[in-house]
Amino acid sequence: MTYGKLFAALADPTRRAIFERLAAREQSVAELARALPVSQPAISQHLKVLKEARLVRDAASGARRIYSIDPDGLWPLRQWLDRFWGDQLASFKVAAEREED
Amino acid sequence: MTYGKLFAALADPTRRAIFERLAAREQSVAELARALPVSQPAISQHLKVLKEARLVRDAASGARRIYSIDPDGLWPLRQWLDRFWGDQLASFKVAAEREED
DNA sequence: GACATTGATAAGTCATTGCTTACAATAAGC
DNA sequence: GCTTATTGTAAGCAATGACTTATCAATGTC
């Protein structure tokens, strides 16, 4: 479920572009909208998805809203990845975490 | 593009379940279909997506088709992840390396 | 050869998604 | 105060996605 939102958030190319821009430096919605070939509402909707996946954060700054990447956002992804990184060693890890879906 | 297929493949919970089962041990389509609460065609369709994302492989074995994890399948995911691991997340890496001493 | 098992594909359905334009609310600058 | 800039949300739409049942080709078994 959490993994689902995480992977789904990163599946969209526009959303990955947003994330990568924010990784370079934090910026406002309008700034992202100017840089990417979609409308401002599309950016807001993408940011909402990224925020629900805990990949980005936002902070008010006057009329603007500054978005930045959540430092801990990629940690679950790395955890998931590490479960399969040890080849055959991953077998028991998989069995151990089969509870959650 | 490639990343899109990769993330999209892992976004679906049924597909992750298939991948995790194959990580534990290779098995046939029918075996997956018996274990998971979806029909056999659904399994085949999911396997097609996973295969196009280079996450699984298949080999003929008589009338059956044995699917297994592609050993290199998760490498692009790790590459993508590592692009953002050195920035704001450097503290984790430092902590992990210090722990290995 | 007859029959069952396996697995891919076709066709259809229903929900979700990514986008648009339109609009409302808030803050800034004159 | 009035206008301009910024942002979120609503509504609508075309495309995609995840499933189903039906079907067919290929293999295994008696």
Look-up: residue for tokens 């050993």?
A: B71
- The reported pLDDT for the residue numbered A85 is 76
Non-local CB neighbours of B82 within 8 Å, separated by 6+ positions: none
Q: Is residue B67 within a helix (H) or strand (E), and if so which, with residue range? A: strand B64-69
**Interchain CB distance below 8 Å, B11 and A13:** no
**A35 alpha carbon, distance to own chain's centre:** 19
Quickly list DSSP for B70-87. Answer: -TTTTHHHHHHHHHTTSS
Q: Report yes or no: A21 and A35 within 8 Å, Cβ to Cβ.
A: yes
User: What does the block give as tokens for A93?
Assistant: 């890890």
Query: Residue B19 maps to which CATH number?
Result: 1.10.10.10
Q: In whole angstroms, give the CA distance from residue A44 to residue A7.
A: 19
Q: Which residue is nearest to nucleotide C26 (CA to C1')?
A: A63
Q: Provide the 8-state DSSP code for A25.
A: -
Q: Which domain covers residue B35, as residue numbers?
A: 2-99
Please tell me the predicted confidence (pLDDT) of residue B85: 75
> What does the pLDDT read at residue B71?
84
Residue A71 pLDDT grade (very low, low, confident, very high; cuts 50, 70, 90): confident
- Mean pLDDT over A70-84 rounds to 91
Average pLDDT over residues B5-14: 98
A23 to A3, A31, A73, A80: CA distances (angstroms) = 21, 14, 12, 21
Structural domains of chain A, count:
1
pLDDT of residue A2: 86
What's the pLDDT at A11? 97
- B60-82 average pLDDT score: 93
Q: Is the CB of B34 under 7 A from strand C?
A: no
B93: nearest Cα among A85, B101, B85: B85
Contact B88 A1 (CB under 8 A): no
State the pLDDT at residue A99: 41
Summarised one tens digit per residue, pLDDT across range B37-51 is 999 999 999 999 999
**A8-61 tens-digit pLDDT:** 999 999 999 999 999 999 999 999 999 999 999 999 999 999 999 999 999 999
